[in-house]
Structure 1
Amino acid sequence: KTFNIAPSWTHILSPNSVFTLGAFVRRDQFNYYPSKNAFADFSPIQSLTIAQDRSLTNAGLRSDVNYTKGIHNVKIGATYQQTFLNENDTMGIVDPNFVASFGCPNGNPAPDPCAVLPPFDLTTGGTPFRFKGHTDVKELALYAQDAISKGNWTLNLGIRGDFYNGLTTHNEAEPRLGIAYNIRRTNTVLRASYARVLETPFNENLIVSSVGCANEVLNPLLGCSSSDLTPLRTGWRNEFHVGLEQAFGKYLVASGEYITKYTHNAYDFSVLGNSPIFFPIGWQRSKIPAYAGRVSVPNFHGFSALVVMSTVAARFFTPQVSGAGATPAAPTGVFRIDHDEKFNQTTHLQYQIGKTGPWLGFNWRYDSGLVAGAVPFAPSSDPTSPIDLTGFSADQQFQAGFFCGNQRATLASPLTTCAPSQFGSTLISIPAPGTENDDKNPPRIAARHLFDLSVGDDNLFRGDKYKWSLQLTAINITNNYALYNFLSTFSGTHYVTPRALTAQLGFHF
């Protein structure tokens, strides 16, 4: 459930300046319900039955003055907001072997899972554990910017100050600079920009991630390395963009851009005790370089085309420095999250007969494949020992297209172990035994080509005041069976859309 109210008032101060004052309040209510039979929630990948009642209320004021004169367009403003977070979690253990997995009795010093978890083990008659958390996050932002246009030059100057006061506090000065130059003789635009950006923690389950490790019950469920508080610290990013745009006559425009984002305290997500509840965490840093390109043919005798392409490397550096499970003293390393993809492109071609006649559209999408970090492999430290697959359910193995030699994983016959030389997948590209590297050569979703076709007419009967339109669309016309991602922390597993045919009839008046 959600609502959003945002009234504003605008007053003209002079022919060159405008004042705006606004207020806003937004509330999000999130409820997650367990199965009526708690033990129906038990599966190879879920040890808990869990319910959640979580709310976020964000309210604040914003004000700015805009002044335009000559080559300047100046804007000065401020925003103050408070975010009220409430988290209510109820959870119980439904895996009969979960408590035993901690080696009970183990005699560990407090908090000892063997001592604190049994009262909440429903398999032995326990009752659910309840966690309640509340916090108020206060944020103040002050900013000033000036867009300057002079001849062929465009310059954007700005400074922003953020004051964050939540479970942690941080203040950051954030300069911004953008510059563009238009070479009119060659129809070329060159541009570059820099921004310093404050990254504030995600609000979803922020409290349990920040204080959960200090709770003796949540500590083992969150995989904590100590009983210390692990509040999410704010991050800061240096972001650079460099690009150009080139027009070739009237009928071809090409543009390209290089982007790099270097973030300290880079945010990611983890999951609560093998449940569908996720929470934010922070890694030491991240480095995300990317390229993006675009080529378009606006309209040439009824023919138009658009090609967009990109490549992105989403590199995150260990250790985890904040959030539940943080290990700040752990060794450094690097891995790639599942936003990383070497190359993707979409090509759209369209031809229309005349200016108002029927049209035909064709779409081609290519993806080299996202990182699939949850997939098993034979590591370089032990490339010959059998790969253990018991940590994956039969359903997960089938979804991933795992096979061992001539034996394919099915719902009725999952794989248990497999020799590295025999192990593979029909849907995922798994590195050869001994060649996997979390940074340079991680498992990836297999590359795929998808094709769509559509035909239509936007004015079937050539009406003027009233118009009928008809469109027929075929998605994935080759019916390519492929994965989009696999066991993503945030979104799970998804297949690409199978072949689908749709017809759309419209009446416009």
Structure 2
Amino acid sequence: MKRVLVFVVLVVISACGSAWGQVNYGEVHLKITDPSGAAIKASVELSSSGNGYDKSFTANSSGVLRVPLLPYGAYQLTISQSGFTPFSKVVEISSALPLDENIQLSLASVVTQVKVTGAETLIDPDSPSSVMEIGSKQIQERVPSLPGRSVQDLVNSQPGWLYEGNAVLHPRGSEYQTQFVVDGIPLTDNRSPSFGPEIEADDLDSMSIYTAGYPAEYGRKMGGVVELDTRRQTDPGLHGEVVLSGGSYDSASGYGRLQYVWGKNTVNGSASGGMTSHYLNPVVPQNFTNTGTVGDFSAGYERDLTPNDRLSFSVRHELSRFLIPNELLQEQAGQIQNGDNFETMGIVHYQHIISPDSLIALSGMVRDNANDLYSNQNPTPIDATQKNDFREGYFKGTYSLHHGHQEFKAGIESDSIFLHEFFTYNITAPDFFDDDTPQSLTFAAQRPDLEQSAFIEDLIHLGKWTVSAGLRWDHYQLLLNQNAVSPRLSISRYVPSLNMVLHASFDRIFQTPSFENILISSSTKIDALSDDFLRLPVQPSKGNYYEGGLTEAFYHRMRLDVNLYRRDVRNYADDDQLLNTGVSYPIAFDKSVIYGAESKLTLVQLGKLNGFVSYSYMVGNVWYPVTGGLFLGDDADAALTQLNGHFPDSQDQRNTLRTRFQYQVIKRAWFAGGADYGSGLPFEFDGDPGEALAEYGPEVISRINFDRGRIRPLLSVNASLGVDVYSGEKVKMHFQADGDNLNNRLNVIDFGGLFSGNAIGPARSFGLRLNTTF
């Protein structure tokens, strides 16, 4: 109770977070006048075909409009007002410094029409690397997700990203190396449904996704970076949204949001909740014991203290409660295993514009996170209880400077995470364990994870060339104490005759180990679990990422993105599982080499049709020996004797194809259809296929190729129908009906044998969604 009170005091004192700390985001400041210099309260539209941004605003009575949180890129700016000639131009956002535009409208002597197209914003000629963008329209019209997965599903729809079981994201073969950046604050712990609650996708305005060409501002978890920009309005008055949805697996969810803007102040709040009987991926088709509920609550306040100073606070609380899916033996024994996650975070951000060419930004966060695992009186083969929690304190300060053709940025950050782990077990079915395995064990420990960094980077515009160069220093202190310096370099060349951007990047990475259960796996108390054991400290991963590619626009309607990449990593991070429990912990192997190609063809608009098709090819191999982690029994013997050779990376799915197209049937209705295909992940299985058949049944085993050690291909077909039920000046209502896995294939995602993490995707399912905005 004392810790809770301390945290509440911290939240009240420092209040909490904002989105003004986003890395590759800028803003536009407009001053709109008539020929005499008098202010005009005009309508403003900003749109970008390249990143899916399209919003309308209204300047205030002083003719002033400030539009924050614009992802870097090219935007079509259109201004209109009765009695004046419409104004349109393309503006480029490439810096955290505000872009100031003084627009003087001319009187309309005749009827004038301005033809605006997205041709000039399909690509960003000044982007030094590839970034995948998901705009608000894509978020609102997304394929439905089970509660707790809406953001992960959006990320997984992009080329280069793969799921393993329970919505654990793996970018380009990386294991547990994804960081989510929520309103400028990095969250580096595992954010999958079984580890932590998520922010609901309806709460987001846009997403930016990196798998290469990382700014030096990012570090620690470098498999992939996902920037999440929460929603806000700039127009005065009360605005809101209500979303209701439901469907198969007894799923139902709701989301509500309110925001009020007056003068220089903005206050907002949101809440969401959901329930389902398919929270995690079940291990057998029967979907035993798989209910879950989620909730998310947030509030924020923002004020422009002066034209050059902005202060914002926010607080967010998230929770999830769920059951762990049973296998057949566990269901027959009557096992009920529960899990839950609770998280509360607060963020504060301050921004000061020193001059038109420089600004400083300060951000801070405090966060409490707790997760539990416990069973009823019938667990099989082991009764495991876990209570882990951590408290995190984060600070970041940056300075940005525009000088000529250069955009400088430098900063420091500090992250202190105070880990607490508690674990106990009692074996209930000794036949599944070695004779020398202790019947019970209790473990408790705590330790701080202290990490600091500093960086400097420069974005240079040299005609048709753009160069992003940066240098980052990291310090990591948990079980080990290490430092690293990481250079980053991205170069692009715009070819106007082909409307193409060629780019190449090099990223030196320093990835800290996952801290989930790292204390128990490194404790000598675990030696009692087996006479044969091997324990090695898990070193941070170090490596080099290379990428080359192009972005090209065709016929003012289509955009093609192609990337070739290679990742060479030493001390390659992976994970293992403690006995037959759900407790996973980090391990490492000598090295990995992962390479591949990705492409995405986007049809922005061709008449009434738009959509995309993407393809990914990836090959991943990991080399022995093991270099870090805990290994028991036969695994320890294998680790000590297997000193060379390699094996496929667990995310080595060679071919992945995704597509979705939408057709506007009539003005207020559209139809969409798509498909996801995967050639199947590799698996290791040391048991008898006959035992697997008896445990999982012929339907699951038919999807497994034991000879190749591969899961057979996955395929899921989806379709959606959207209708604008009501579209008024202030209120809009949109209804959407969706069907997923319409082909009803049993898609086995992972296969690992008895009590070891099978994962089966949802069967044919349907959903309904009603969205009301005002």
TM-score normalised by L of structure 2: 0.52
Provide closer, same or farther for how the CA distance between residues 371 and 152 of structure 1 changes in structure 2, counting only shifts above 3 A. Answer: same
Is 1:443 the equivalent of 2:709? Answer: yes
Equivalences for 1:170-181 in 2 at 5 Å?
Answer: 170-181=482-493
Give the counterpart letter for 1:396 in structure 2.
Y
Kindly state the Cα deviation for residue 9 of structure 1 after the two structures are TM-superposed: 2.0
Is 1:3 the equivalent of 2:338? Answer: no
Provide closer, same or farther for how the CA distance between residues 400 and 180 of structure 1 changes in structure 2, counting only shifts above 3 A. Answer: same
Residue 198 of structure 1 is matched in structure 2 by 510
Kindly state the Cα deviation for residue 34 of structure 1 after the two structures are TM-superposed: 2.5
Given that 2:569 and 2:591 are in contact with CA atoms closer than 8 Å, whether structure 1 keeps it comes out as yes
Provide closer, same or farther for how the CA distance between residues 508 and 63 of structure 1 changes in structure 2, counting only shifts above 3 A. Answer: closer
Is 1:500 the equivalent of 2:765? Answer: yes
Is 1:341 the equivalent of 2:687? Answer: no
Is 1:484 the equivalent of 2:749? Answer: yes
Given that 1:375 and 1:443 are in contact with CA atoms closer than 8 Å, whether structure 2 keeps it comes out as no
Residue 719 of structure 2 is matched in structure 1 by 453
3-state SS of paired residue (2:523): helix
3-state SS of paired residue (2:536): coil
Please point out which of 715, 726, 734 is paired with 1:469. Answer: 734
Alpha-carbon distance between aligned partners in 1 of 2:717 and 2:573, rounded to the nearest angstrom? 35
Alpha-carbon distance between aligned partners in 2 of 1:284 and 1:340, rounded to the nearest angstrom? 17
Provide closer, same or farther for how the CA distance between residues 145 and 493 of structure 1 changes in structure 2, counting only shifts above 3 A. Answer: same
Residue 211 of structure 1 is matched in structure 2 by 523
Residue 400 of structure 2 is matched in structure 1 by 66
Given that 1:187 and 1:247 are in contact with CA atoms closer than 8 Å, whether structure 2 keeps it comes out as yes
Is 1:316 the equivalent of 2:657? Answer: no
Is 1:224 the equivalent of 2:533? Answer: yes
Give the counterpart letter for 1:272 in structure 2.
L
Q: Deviations over 1:166-223 (max 9, x none)?
A: 10121111000000001001111100000111011101000112224x6442445xx6
Provide closer, same or farther for how the CA distance between residues 182 and 486 of structure 1 changes in structure 2, counting only shifts above 3 A. Answer: same
- Percent of residue pairs bearing the same amino acid type: 24
Given that 2:715 and 2:747 are in contact with CA atoms closer than 8 Å, whether structure 1 keeps it comes out as no
Any gaps of 5 or more consecutive residues in structure 2?
1-341
Residue 379 of structure 2 is matched in structure 1 by 41
3-state SS of paired residue (1:324): strand
Which of the two has higher C-alpha Rg?
Answer: 1
Given that 2:527 and 2:533 are in contact with CA atoms closer than 8 Å, whether structure 1 keeps it comes out as no
Alpha-carbon distance between aligned partners in 2 of 1:330 and 1:288, rounded to the nearest angstrom? 21
Provide closer, same or farther for how the CA distance between residues 331 and 397 of structure 1 changes in structure 2, counting only shifts above 3 A. Answer: farther
Alpha-carbon distance between aligned partners in 2 of 1:197 and 1:491, rounded to the nearest angstrom? 31
Is 1:430 the equivalent of 2:430? Answer: no
Given that 2:351 and 2:362 are in contact with CA atoms closer than 8 Å, whether structure 1 keeps it comes out as yes
User: What is the aligned-residue RMSD (CA, Å)?
Assistant: 2.4
Give the counterpart letter for 2:716 in structure 1.
L
Given that 1:270 and 1:489 are in contact with CA atoms closer than 8 Å, whether structure 2 keeps it comes out as no
Given that 1:372 and 1:488 are in contact with CA atoms closer than 8 Å, whether structure 2 keeps it comes out as no
Alpha-carbon distance between aligned partners in 2 of 1:430 and 1:194, rounded to the nearest angstrom? 39
Provide closer, same or farther for how the CA distance between residues 457 and 80 of structure 1 changes in structure 2, counting only shifts above 3 A. Answer: same
3-state SS of paired residue (1:331): coil
Any gaps of 5 or more consecutive residues in structure 1?
103-112, 122-127, 377-386, 402-425, 432-441
Provide closer, same or farther for how the CA distance between residues 231 and 305 of structure 1 changes in structure 2, counting only shifts above 3 A. Answer: same
Q: Deviations over 1:282-312 (max 9, x none)?
A: 1111111121100011111111121111122
Provide closer, same or farther for how the CA distance between residues 277 and 478 of structure 1 changes in structure 2, counting only shifts above 3 A. Answer: same
Provide closer, same or farther for how the CA distance between residues 388 and 463 of structure 1 changes in structure 2, counting only shifts above 3 A. Answer: closer
Q: Deviations over 1:351-386 (max 9, x none)?
A: 1145x332111112221112222376xxxxxxxxxx
Give the counterpart letter for 1:49 in structure 2.
D
Equivalences for 1:111-130 in 2 at 5 Å?
Answer: 113=436, 120-121=438-439, 128-130=440-442
3-state SS of paired residue (1:395): helix
Is 1:400 the equivalent of 2:666? Answer: no
Q: Deviations over 1:405-439 (max 9, x none)?
A: xxxxxxxxxxxxxxxxxxxxx212232xxxxxxxx
Give the counterpart letter for 1:341 in structure 2.
Q
Kindly state the Cα deviation for residue 464 of structure 1 after the two structures are TM-superposed: 4.0
Give the counterpart letter for 1:445 in structure 2.
I
Is 1:253 the equivalent of 2:564? Answer: no
Kindly state the Cα deviation for residue 240 of structure 1 after the two structures are TM-superposed: 0.7
Is 1:363 the equivalent of 2:628? Answer: no
Provide closer, same or farther for how the CA distance between residues 63 and 464 of structure 1 changes in structure 2, counting only shifts above 3 A. Answer: closer
Is 1:21 the equivalent of 2:297? Answer: no
Residue 446 of structure 2 is matched in structure 1 by 134
Q: Deviations over 1:322-344 (max 9, x none)?
A: 11016466421211233111111
Alpha-carbon distance between aligned partners in 2 of 1:84 and 1:4, rounded to the nearest angstrom? 15
Kindly state the Cα deviation for residue 159 of structure 1 after the two structures are TM-superposed: 0.3
Q: Which has the higher contact order (CA 8 A, sep 6+)?
A: 2
Given that 1:316 and 1:335 are in contact with CA atoms closer than 8 Å, whether structure 2 keeps it comes out as yes
Equivalences for 1:68-83 in 2 at 5 Å?
Answer: 68-83=402-417
3-state SS of paired residue (1:6): strand
Given that 1:2 and 1:29 are in contact with CA atoms closer than 8 Å, whether structure 2 keeps it comes out as yes
Give the counterpart letter for 1:307 in structure 2.
V
Kindly state the Cα deviation for residue 490 of structure 1 after the two structures are TM-superposed: 12
Alpha-carbon distance between aligned partners in 2 of 1:216 and 1:235, rounded to the nearest angstrom? 25
Is 1:52 the equivalent of 2:317? Answer: no
Please point out which of 572, 589, 599 is paired with 1:283. Answer: 589
Kindly state the Cα deviation for residue 465 of structure 1 after the two structures are TM-superposed: 3.6
3-state SS of paired residue (1:400): helix
Alpha-carbon distance between aligned partners in 1 of 2:394 and 2:735, rounded to the nearest angstrom? 46
Alpha-carbon distance between aligned partners in 2 of 1:73 and 1:488, rounded to the nearest angstrom? 53
TM-score normalised by L of structure 1: 0.78
Given that 1:317 and 1:335 are in contact with CA atoms closer than 8 Å, whether structure 2 keeps it comes out as yes
3-state SS of paired residue (1:208): helix
Alpha-carbon distance between aligned partners in 1 of 2:722 and 2:512, rounded to the nearest angstrom? 46
Given that 2:520 and 2:526 are in contact with CA atoms closer than 8 Å, whether structure 1 keeps it comes out as no
3-state SS of paired residue (1:492): coil
Alpha-carbon distance between aligned partners in 2 of 1:2 and 1:351, rounded to the nearest angstrom? 40
